[in-house]
Amino acid sequence: MMYNMKYILLSSFLFLSSCAFAQNVTGNDDDKTEDIDLPEGMLVSDEELMEDYVNKENLHVIANPAIKDLSYDDSVLVSRLLRIPTTIEMPLNNVTRKFIEQYSNKRKRSVAIMLGSANFYMPIFEEALERYGLPLELKYLPVIESGLRPSATSRVGAAGLWQFMIHTGKRYGLEINTLVDERRDPIKSSDAAARYLKDLYDMFGDWGLAISAYNCGEGNVQKAILRSGNTDHADFWTVYDRLPRETRGYMPAFIAANYIMNYYCDHGINPYEASLPVESDTVVVKAELKFSQIASVCGISMEELRALNPQYRRDIIPMGYALRLPSSAIEQYVTHEVEIATTTPTDGSIRRPVVEDPETWRQTTARNNKRGRNIAAVSTAGAKYHTVRSNETLGSIAQKYHTSVKALQRLNGMGKKTLINAGKAIRVK
């Protein structure tokens, strides 16, 4: 109770004091901003969101739901924010209220669309955050970063759900080359984002500053703290007017995203039905494949393959990489993997021979299956990852997690390779 009273007083103080520095958000009908830029995820149109997520076969049933505009007093909004179980401070003030109004009124259709995909992505985000002991409410950062779209690319080149720039992505072990961009891989990018957020919090000791640094970089936040003259007790609100224009709205938008994803029902918002499968799993491909080869044999659309495997930039999966499929299609793939690998792509092009001797491979696969060494299907249920440190080897990692080198090679589609790079996240369970 004492904590709640302290929090309410803090929220009230911020609400009053915000008038001194938050006049940047105007109160006109267009909700235009003067000194705050909306985050990238809030600039995505409903039509763009609809292309990725909505099950168009059921669109006539759920499109344009009758949503009544519902507004609430500040006391109600403060009470709801306090009920969010988190260690991240989420005060209501003039700025955060404007963002809550954006999501609950003008962008309510976008919220309905994103809620449809949340069932697929949120468990992935939560597992990554839990792995590093971070507040689970950080799972809503991709709402404001990308609109929950792995295909998102910002105007400055950041990509994926978590909007990594190339240099930051590589620093946290994400592979980026002509065929593969792991910034768009939901599982690997979430692990990298959690590690990055942990490093930022360790640096600043305040989640508002850490979240801001995620948006504009550590250097810009450090400069804002120095310019504010409050180096000992700095937080987001004390350095607010010293932050870059695009970052001033970032923490308020994050608070608003947490609010609306928890209280959408109170604003009459109904989730749309997403086209993403409820359950999916991965297989490690034994030969370079094109999406069209998989689609023609397994009866899966190219659109669904791209939605489940957004990290492959040219619809090509290199040998030894993971392919995500609906759980219902895993058996079909494993049963027909040789046929898939030897099927001519529908565009008629093959970059290189996918299988030099199909019959030999078929016999080898059958022999491995008989011996219980089929490495085709690799489940991600309950997966656990380890970030490789300097001087670590597969052997030392296997010993640490009470497993074997062969098991690690199988889980990570490494074949017989033993080379691992520092900073790379590998699966250990």
Catalytic residues: 145
**What is d(CA 85, CA 100) in angstroms, rounded to the nearest whole number?**
18
Strands 289-290 and 316-317: antiparallel
Strand order in the sheet with 377-378: 322-326, 280-284, 377-378
**What is d(CA 259, CA 81) in angstroms, rounded to the nearest whole number?**
7
DSSP letter string, 158-225: -BTTTTB-HHHHHHTT--BSSSBBGGG-HHHHHHHHHHHHHHHHHHHS-HHHHHHHHHH-HHHHHHHH
**What is d(CA 80, CA 259) in angstroms, rounded to the nearest whole number?**
8
Given a contact cutoff of 8 angstroms between Cβ atoms, the answer to whether 187 and 280 are in contact is no
Given a contact cutoff of 8 angstroms between Cβ atoms, the answer to whether 354 and 341 are in contact is yes
Q: Is 232 left (phi over 0), alpha (psi -120 to 50) or beta?
A: alpha
- SS3 state of residue 16: helix
Strands 385-387 and 289-290: unpaired
Strands 385-387 and 425-427: antiparallel
Count of beta carbons in the 10 Å neighbourhood of residue 30: 7
Given a contact cutoff of 8 angstroms between Cβ atoms, the answer to whether 358 and 344 are in contact is no
